């Protein structure tokens, strides 16, 4: 029997059974693999002392916006019985910041939390964007600076090892570097956002055109155009300093060199790509930012960074740093690695 035989009130069968774009039904064969990958990452986090937490999918929108007011339009909103606005969480970092400030208000840091949970985002940013995604992630609370960042990057590499990946890389940048250069060069705050948006799209040609219109001297213009092109091993940190005017980036580069030393001690430095043009779109990052790649696939597997001011918005000032991986994308990367491995025997 086909759906057409049972059509009700003229509704076509497809719309009677359709699911929203950006969502999917996961069937048993794939589900087994997603469970296995998620479970292995969760175990890696747990073994490293990161206890799993779960928070409500629906929270008061007012509370979530306290964490990141720029995310306002991108949420699914509903109402409770009293008319208060509820929203679906768009990440787990903001809810965990709330949990730290409330349920752990009297507990001394450091605190280590993990999660394996769904989050939801509006798909107006582009066709094919997922509306719902399963994230595996960690939050390290109360360990400031490079020490915290090195722990988060190293555990990310380890969790992806556990998930069966072999070619994964973590991109590391400084989310404040470009902003602080613009400020120190006297570029007005209103002009920052279009530049940062172009940069976050990795549109280096467009960036050069925009930078040329800022009316800066040659050395400053050259630095703003060349710095985001630098991407690679530790040597890019030295090459950045050698750029004309590169001294202006000195403090950020010094911070990344310190992080590199700690990553070397943890034997994961060969997994890291320094990327001086990296800008993460979430508003709460205050320092180092991370993106996770696998050369077998053309999309990022996840990302994160340092967010030293977020937990304070819920009432407790604590430095923090975290990273989230998209479990479905990790699964696709693992399958792609296997396919490539079959093509290129070792």
Residues that bind a second copy (CB under 8 A): 1-3, 5-6, 8, 13, 15-20, 23-29, 31-32, 34-35, 42, 46, 51-60, 62-63, 66, 76-78, 80-81, 84, 86, 88, 95, 98-99, 101-103, 105, 113, 118, 120, 122-124, 131-132, 312-317
Instruction: Report d(CA 83, CA 340) in Å as an integer.
Output: 53
Least distance to a second copy, CB of residue 288, Å: 25
CA dist., res. 282 & res. 305, Å (int): 10
CA 11 to chain centre: 41
Backbone angles phi, psi at 120, to 5 degrees: -130, 140
Evaluate whether 294 touches 301 at the Cβ level (below 8 Å). yes
* Closer residue to a second copy, CB minimum distance, 70 or 166: 70
Pick between residue 82 and residue 213 the one whose CB is nearest to a second copy: 82
Sequence-ordered strand ranges (E) for 104-236:
111-120, 132-141, 169-174, 231-232
Q: Which residues contact 243 (CB under 8 A, 6 or more apart)?
A: 222, 223, 226, 227
Of 3 and 233, which has the nearer Cβ to a second copy? 3
E strand or H helix at 237, and its extent? helix 235-242
- Shortest reach from residue 119's CB to a second copy, in Å: 10
68 and 94 Cβ atoms separated by less than 8 Å: yes
| Closer by beta carbon to a second copy, 270 or else 317 | 317
Least distance CB 15 / a second copy (angstroms): 8
Nearer to a second copy, 139 or 275 (CB): 139
Closest approach, Cβ 165 to a second copy, in A, equals 22
As measured in angstroms, the least distance from the Cβ of 137 to a second copy is 14
- Which residue lies nearer to a second copy by CB, 86 or 165? 86
The distance of closest approach from Cβ of residue 150 to a second copy in the complex, given in angstroms and rounded to an integer, is: 23
* Residues 135 and 327: beta-carbon distance below 8 Å: yes
Minimum separation from the CB atom of position 87 to a second copy (A)? 9
Q: Supply the minimum distance, in Å, between the C-beta of residue 272 and a second copy.
A: 29
Nearer CB in complex with a second copy: 94/227: 94
Return the number of the residue (64 or 263) whose C-beta is nearest a second copy: 64
Rounded distance between C-alpha atoms, residue 137 and residue 292, angstroms: 12
Please, what is the minimum distance in Å from the beta carbon of residue 143 to a second copy? Answer: 18
Q: Name the DSSP letter for residue 78.
A: E
Asked if 330 and 160 count as a contact pair (C-beta separation under 8 A), the reply is yes
Of 105 and 339, the one with the shorter C-beta distance to a second copy is 105
> CA–CA separation, 321 vs 255, rounded Å?
15
Residue 238 CB, nearest approach to a second copy (Å): 41
Closest to a second copy by CB, 115 or 274: 115
Residue 214, CA distances (Å) to 168, 186, 217 in order = 38, 10, 9
Alpha-carbon gap, residue 340 to 333, rounded angstroms? 10
d(CA 161, CA 163): 5
Q: Is the Cβ–Cβ distance between 47 and 156 less than 8 Å?
A: no
| Of 173, 117, 166, 136, the residue nearest 340 (C-alpha) | 166
């Amino acid at each position: 029997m086909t759906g057409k035989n049972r059509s009700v009130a003229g509704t076509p069968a497809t719309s009677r059974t359709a699911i929203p774009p950006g969502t999917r039904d996961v069937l048993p064969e794939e589900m087994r693999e997603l469970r296995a990958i998620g479970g292995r990452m969760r175990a890696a986090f747990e073994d490293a002392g990161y206890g799993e937490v779960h928070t409500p999918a629906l929270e008061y929108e007012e509370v979530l916006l306290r964490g990141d007011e720029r995310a306002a339009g991108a949420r699914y909103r509903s109402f409770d019985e009293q008319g208060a606005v509820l929203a679906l969480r768009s990440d787990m970092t903001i809810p965990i910041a709330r949990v730290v400030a409330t349920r752990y208000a009297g507990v001394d840091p450091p605190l280590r939390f993990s999660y394996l949970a769904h989050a939801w985002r509006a798909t107006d940013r582009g066709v094919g964007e997922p509306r719902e995604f399963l994230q595996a992630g960690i939050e390290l609370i109360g360990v400031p600076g490079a020490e915290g960042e090195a722990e988060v990057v190293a555990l990310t590499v380890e969790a992806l090892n556990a998930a069966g990946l072999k070619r994964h890389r973590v991109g590391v940048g400084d989310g404040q570097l470009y902003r602080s250069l613009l400020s120190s060069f006297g570029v007005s705050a209103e002009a920052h956002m279009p530049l940062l948006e172009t940069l976050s799209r990795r549109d280096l040609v467009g960036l050069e055109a925009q930078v040329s219109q800022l009316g800066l001297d040659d050395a400053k213009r050259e630095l703003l155009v060349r710095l985001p092109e630098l991407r690679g091993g530790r040597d890019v940190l030295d090459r950045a300093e050698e750029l004309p005017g590169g001294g202006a980036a000195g403090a950020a580069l010094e911070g990344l060199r310190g992080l590199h030393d700690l990553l070397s001690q943890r034997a994961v430095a060969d997994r890291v790509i320094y990327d001086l043009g990296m800008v993460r779109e979430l508003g709460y990052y205050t320092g180092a930012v991370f993106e996770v790649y696998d050369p077998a696939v053309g999309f990022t597997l996840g990302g994160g960074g340092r967010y030293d001011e977020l937990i304070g918005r819920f009432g407790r000032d604590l430095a923090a740093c975290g990273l989230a991986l998209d479990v479905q994308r990790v699964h696709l990367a693992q399958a792609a690695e296997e396919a490539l491995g079959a093509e290129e025997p070792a």
